[in-house]
């Protein structure tokens, strides 16, 4: 019985030591995700739908991202309270900001999911 408990404890320790959390999204990955999002279906149910920047090249859309900020907590007012690491990507012009409804694109840094901030 004692050997079984020791063996079980050792196996649990090994299993726990081998678990690795997903690495957070890098700034480059967040920028690519935002660019693909405004070119792609955005929040449309139809995955074949195109976004407002569909006619732009990926490089051109990336060129319109002025800043990328990794925010750990705060209040955006338009998208609510930030409770976990979130990338906020700011556009350089009114035209580019219009692609996302006039707001920056927010991406969860842990999951890579773009946050839907539509009212």
Per-residue confidence (pLDDT) for residue 48, from 0 to 100? 85
Per-residue confidence (pLDDT) for residue 119, from 0 to 100? 58
Q: What is the pLDDT of residues 57-103, one digit of tens each?
A: 999 999 999 999 999 999 988 888 999 999 999 999 999 999 998 99
Identify the bridge partners of residue 108 per DSSP, sorted by sequence position: 86
How far is C-alpha 2 from the chain's CA centre?
47
- H helix runs in the chain, sequence order: 2-18, 27-39, 58-63, 94-98
Between CA 117 and CA 113 the distance in angstroms is: 12
| Closest by Cα among 72, 70, 93 to 84 | 72
3-state class (DSSP) for residue 65? strand
Between CA 8 and CA 5 the distance in angstroms is: 5
Residue 113 structure tokens? 């999911």
pTM exceeds 0.85 for this model: no
């Amino acid at each position: 019985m004692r050997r079984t408990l020791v063996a079980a404890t050792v196996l649990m320790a090994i299993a726990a030591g081998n678990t690795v959390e997903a690495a957070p999204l890098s700034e480059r990955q967040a920028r690519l995700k935002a660019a693909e999002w405004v070119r792609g279906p955005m929040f449309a149910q139809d995955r074949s739908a195109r976004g407002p920047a569909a006619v732009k090249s990926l490089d051109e859309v990336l060129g319109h991202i002025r800043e990328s900020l990794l925010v750990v907590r705060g209040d955006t007012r338009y998208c609510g309270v930030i409770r976990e690491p979130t990338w906020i990507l700011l556009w350089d012009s009114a035209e580019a900001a219009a692609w996302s409804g006039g707001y920056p694109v927010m991406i969860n840094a842990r999951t890579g999911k773009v946050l839907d901030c539509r009212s």
